[in-house]
Amino acid sequence: MSKEMTRRNFLTGAGILAAGTAAAGIIGCAPQSGGSASKNAASGSEGQADAATTSEQPWQNPPAPIPDDKVSEEVDCEVLVLGLGSAGVPATVYAAASGANVVALNASSTPEGEGAYIGAYNSPHDAEHGIEYDAAGLRASYAYWGQGSNNGDVTGTIWDRSGNAVEWFAEYCKDVWAYECGPDNTIDEGIHKRSTATHMVYVFPDPDEKQEQYRVYNGFPKFLKAACDKAESKGARIFYSTPAQQLIREGDGTGRVTGAYGLKEDGTYVKVNASKGVLLATGDFHQNDAMLQDWLPCMTGDLFSRNPYGTAQGDGQKMAWWIGAGKDTGPFDIGLCWPHDFEFVENSPSRWGSKPWLRLNIAGERYTNETLGTHEWYSTSPMCLADVKQPGHTGYQICDSKYPAILDNDESEIAIFEDCVERKVIHSADTLEELADKVGFTNKERFLESVARYNGVCAGGSDIDFGVPAEYLANTSVTEPPFYCMHRVVYKQWTDGGVNTNRYGQVLDDEREPIEGLYAAGNIRSGLCSTHYLWKSFGSNKLNAVTSGMLSVKHMLGTWDEEFAL
């Protein structure tokens, strides 16, 4: 990509959001008829109620099998895809393009795409941009940052093959929706900003949008619908507004998974028989408070979700667990973020959320080491976890007229800051007392005491309270008016995991053996990260979703060893 290329043109194709959910909610469970699968499904985790007992957490208990007289339609196929998000759509498209008889069930009336960017390692475009794919280095980095939760065989396989897979998907669909592609360090949307290119990203912009980020984010769901339309033109059968309800497993619940039931709008069921495989591409569970209460209670309650579909209910996880899939014990990804406010109407740039300015809660209390966020990239930072535990799920960054030093005296960054101040997105005042009143700190005295205490440790050259390195203290003391305050409200965007898979995408049981006929892709899969989504790949969420969905289909069709080819 030439240096002259504009930001609008940069997006020669970009990738997966860390914002974006690849979910397509499936309300799921599976028939039980005894055997080890039934025992596993009924017991959930140790000490939980069996299926005959009313549980405080209904997701733990499998439903009764669907009776034959409730089935109004039965169809046969080779490949069945459950969920049409960032994993399910590419899988469906690829299966249809390969000549397979494919059926997809989707909970909502449209494909679901939240986010924008699809990342790609080992891309055919790497060389022209001077990018060298370091497979071993990437695996080592994720092993460390994954804190023991990363499955290098699974994720490494996906990274190795993502360049070819994503390129195929974009090229195959370019007749119905144009794409752009470029290195990840060309993206600066006020939220993400990188200095070094490590991989390629793809985007599918909306030609009707003028604001650059909206054209990217609003284009992605439209692209998914166009891709599904193309798959249907190649023979795919898609059942919209038909959430999957139960998986079908042979052998008294111990054999091969051969299909699933979907709930139709008239209250009857469609039974889909799949001869080659069933792919769970149903997304995560961050909108299911019952599951969050058991796994991630910090994400329960009134925490706002970026997912507009409401379908991130963990339905695929439930369906898999209830027919005997091994239940991952976590830790699950605490998928938090600061708002994607592209025009800074309510929030200053989210990338500043990791700047080491003094951080207080609304009660005026300092609660963390402000450089916590500098070890991560953007809003998947552990700083979001520190913020979400505060009243209102919000942190407040306090700084003074020395703020340009923390922005590296970057004139463009300073101009954004000044514009935010002028529009009152950033609060400003000539005295700390006035600032406290403008922001509305609930304990003004504590606010003033916290600022004074911080100024004291800055003057002493050592942050003996929270350990911010001395190099930051001179420029982050709050002593020279005017004074400023930025709020950092936290949203939830996804969780990650639930079922373990091998490199082929096959779902594993408790003994780590594959359940024949059952595959999983996207955010339902475990083995990527620990408590925080790994940020090493801009667009990594969709990178994993797109590639893992397509690879699963390849394994079903017996073409695993072949690369994707138009």
Q: What are 123-133's pLDDT values in tens digits?
A: 999 999 999 99
Which residues partner with 29 through β-bridges? 246
Tokens 């922005």 belong to 407
3-class DSSP assignment, residue 13 = strand
Cβ atoms of 9 and 271 within 8 Å: the answer is no
pLDDT at 259 over 90: yes
pLDDT winner (highest mean) among 194-203, 263-272, 380-389: 263-272
CB crowding 352-365: b at 16 or more within 10 Å, else e: bbbbbbbbbbbebb
Which residues partner with 260 through β-bridges? 247, 272
| Separation of alpha carbons 200 and 14, rounded Å | 7
| Separation of alpha carbons 102 and 392, rounded Å | 46
Q: Which whole number is the average pLDDT over 443-452?
A: 98
Q: Which whole number is the average pLDDT over 448-471?
A: 97
pLDDT score of 496? 86
pLDDT at 13 over 50: no
- Calculate helix-pair angle for 444-460, 432-439, nearest 10 degrees: 130
Cα 308 to chain centroid distance, Å, stands at 14
Lowest mean pLDDT among 113-117, 150-154, 472-476: 113-117
| Separation of alpha carbons 221 and 209, rounded Å | 13
| Separation of alpha carbons 379 and 237, rounded Å | 38
Q: What is the pLDDT of residues 479-512, one digit of tens each?
A: 999 999 999 999 998 888 899 999 999 999 999 9
Six-digit token pair at 525?
């899969």
CB-based burial of residue 367 (10 Å sphere; 0-12 exposed, 13-18 middle, 19+ buried)?
Answer: middle
Q: Which whole number is the average pLDDT over 240-264?
A: 95
Six-digit token pair at 381?
């930072």
| Separation of alpha carbons 245 and 247, rounded Å | 7
Q: Which whole number is the average pLDDT over 134-155?
A: 88
pLDDT score of 307? 86
Indicate if the alpha-carbon torsion angle 192, 193, 197, 200 is positive or negative. positive
Lowest mean pLDDT among 125-129, 184-188, 334-338, 342-346: 184-188
Angle 316-26-515 from CA coordinates, rounded to 5°: 30
Q: What is the pLDDT of residues 281-312, one digit of tens each?
A: 999 999 999 999 988 998 998 999 988 888 99
Tokens 């499998």 belong to 62
Six-digit token pair at 390?
């505060």
Six-digit token pair at 489?
């409200």
Q: Which whole number is the average pLDDT over 514-524?
A: 97
pLDDT at 144 over 90: no
| Separation of alpha carbons 46 and 35, rounded Å | 17
pLDDT at 552 over 50: yes
pTM of the model: 0.87
Q: How confident is the model at residue 35 (pLDDT cuts 50, 70, 90)?
A: very low
Q: Which whole number is the average pLDDT over 59-67?
A: 88
pLDDT score of 380? 58
Instruction: Name the nearest CA neighbour of 327 among 542, 541, 37, 553.
Output: 37
| Separation of alpha carbons 537 and 153, rounded Å | 17
Cβ atoms of 315 and 27 within 8 Å: the answer is yes
Q: How confident is the model at residue 190 (pLDDT cuts 50, 70, 90)?
A: low
The dihedral region occupied by 408, where left means phi > 0, alpha psi between -120 and 50, and beta the remainder, is left
Q: How confident is the model at residue 534 (pLDDT cuts 50, 70, 90)?
A: low
Q: Which whole number is the average pLDDT over 20-49?
A: 33
Cβ atoms of 477 and 454 within 8 Å: the answer is yes
pLDDT score of 9? 38
pLDDT score of 127? 94
Six-digit token pair at 517?
């006929």
Q: What is the pLDDT of residues 78-101, one digit of tens each?
A: 999 999 999 999 999 999 999 999
Question: Which is higher by pLDDT, 254 or 428?
Answer: 428
Q: Give φ, ψ of 273 to 5 degrees.
A: -100, 125
pLDDT score of 225? 98
Q: Percentage of the chain surpassing pLDDT 70?
A: 87
pLDDT score of 191? 67
Q: What is the pLDDT of residues 260-280, one digit of tens each?
A: 999 999 999 999 999 999 999
Question: Which is higher by pLDDT, 338 or 235?
Answer: 235
Six-digit token pair at 195?
């200095």
Mean pLDDT, rounded, of the chain: 87
Which residues partner with 486 through β-bridges? 397
Q: How confident is the model at residue 147 (pLDDT cuts 50, 70, 90)?
A: confident
Six-digit token pair at 137?
């280095």
Instruction: Name the nearest CA neighbour of 201 among 217, 187, 222, 211.
Output: 187
